[in-house]
Amino acid sequence: MIVQNMPGGSSLVATNYVYNLAKPDGPTLGALPAGVCFDQVLGRDSVKFDWSKFTWIGSPERLEAQLYMRTNSPYKTLEDIRHAAEPPRCG
């Protein structure tokens, strides 16, 4: 096993590498943080991957993530967020 650490941009560098440059022949594994998917949802130019096309084996963590909005926000579905002219402010 060869470990190649790729820090930068909340692992955005590594995620782009695994998606675009690593050979999809089986021996490459990426330990990618789930939060990097929000970079794609928010439409950041630095994203060069499609999160939905990764193949998942599992996770070493047990986390529960929540996404919630106020009822008076203009976003009612994930599609509303994806197609928003201005992305929502998140914290």
Is residue 91 over pLDDT 70? Answer: no
Show the domain range for 34.
12-82
Whether residue 89 is contained in a domain is answered as no
In the chain, how many domains are there? 1
Q: How far apart are CA 16 and CA 3, in angstroms?
A: 17
Give domain status of residue 7, yes or no. no
- Find the DSSP H helices in 1-91: 12-20, 37-41, 78-82
pLDDT score, position 50: 92
Residue 4 belongs to a domain: no
Flag whether 2 is in a domain: no
Q: Tell me the pLDDT tens digit for each residue of 2-56.
A: 888 777 766 888 889 889 988 877 788 888 887 888 888 888 899 999 988 888 7
In a domain? residue 70: yes
Burial 47-63 (b: 16+ CB within 10 A, else e): bebebeeeeeeeeeeee
Confidence (pTM): 0.60
Residue 87 lies in a domain: no
